[in-house]
Structures are given as C-alpha cells and as structure tokens.
Amino acid sequence: YIRDLVSGDRLPAGQTTQFVVDAAGESDKEIFTRMLYEYNVLNVKRQYFSRFIAVSGTPMEHQQTQPRWRENRLYQVDWLHRIYNFERKEMNLAFNDDAFLKNADPKRTIAMSTIDSPVDPNIASYEELLRVPGIGPKSAYRIINLRSSEKLTKQAQLQRLGVRVNHARTFITLNGWQD
C-alpha cells in the first residue's frame, strides 16, 4: 500500500501520483474526489494531471483527445485545495451540474458564488484575502504585514505587493473605490 510506504521512512520525499484525464470517461469531480482520498487517506504528497491523447493503433484510438485546458483546470483545483486550503464544500462550487469544470478559472467561479460584497484589503482576514481572485498566499501575507504600518489606498500599492489587480478588481473595495 502507498499509505504503508509513506508512513515509514522508505519514501522520505513522499509519494506522488499522476492522473490521465478522461482515460476512462471519468468526470472532473470524480478525479477531484479521488485526489482528496489520495491526499487525506493515502498521504500522497503531490498529484499530477495529463490529458488523455488518443493514439492510433491502440485499443483507445477512437476515444476523444481531451483539451489541454481541462488538465490545467485540475491543476488549479489541486492548488486551491492543497495550497490555499479551500474546503471541499466551497470547491464543489467550481463544478457544473454534470460534475465537470468549466474552461474558466475555478477560483473566480467560486468567488462569484461566495463573495457577496467587495472585500476591503485594509480589514479583511488572511482567509478572506485568499478567496479573492488575483490574491495568492504571498500577496495576502504582504497585505496583512503592510497594513500595520500604512493604509492601502491605491491599486498601485496592491500591484507592488503582487496582487493581480485586473483579476481582483471586481472583488475588492479600496479607499471607497470598487469596480
């Protein structure tokens, strides 16, 4: 078992795994559910995704090659769960009714469903800042550190802190300004 290997000192760097996206007709939500199982139960360290590409002369040559964006969206979902610590309940908002991800940033999709009013970076918690598209863990940390010494009043300040303002502008208010 992977879990047994990881729990001892046989794999000091941990275990990784790779999914071939849609090799067996699985939905993105099925992949996500398995991903959670492997992280939480098997203690897998990291997971990778490769889109299925049909190869002539093989039993699966007539199966549809998957678009690269599907692979990329699964990496984004993995990142939101693993690095941003988004909970399963909020992650479920990224999937459509057919259990697939849209070809859109999952963080933005989740934000559209969960952020009721623009967030003020001068008073928002670290967790609230992380839910804003365009703000990652490093920039959220920088915002919190900077605001103890100065008030954020300009988009340029946020840009200097690493915020991707074009992605964040819909979800923030700054000095009375909001998009």
* Residue-wise pLDDT tens digits, 24-36: 889 999 999 999 9
47-50 long-range contacts, CB within 8 A, separation 24+: 47/16, 47/17, 47/18, 47/19, 47/78, 48/16, 48/17, 48/18, 48/19, 49/18, 49/19, 49/21, 49/74, 49/75, 49/78, 50/18, 50/19, 50/20, 50/21
Q: What is the pLDDT along the chain (179 residues), one digit of tens a residue?
A: 555 655 656 655 567 788 989 888 899 999 999 999 999 988 888 899 999 999 999 998 888 889 999 999 999 999 999 999 999 999 999 999 999 999 999 999 999 999 999 999 999 999 999 999 999 999 999 999 999 899 999 999 999 999 999 999 999 998 776 65
Per-residue CA distances from 127 to 73, 96, 106, 124, 144 (Å): 22, 25, 17, 8, 11
Listing DSSP states for 130-141 in one string gives HTSTT--HHHHH
Residue 9, pLDDT score? 62
Read off the tokens for 178.
């909001």
Residue 3, pLDDT score? 59
Residue 16, pLDDT score? 78
For residue range 143-177, list pLDDT tens digits in order.
999 998 999 999 999 999 999 999 999 999 987 76
Residue 42, pLDDT score? 83
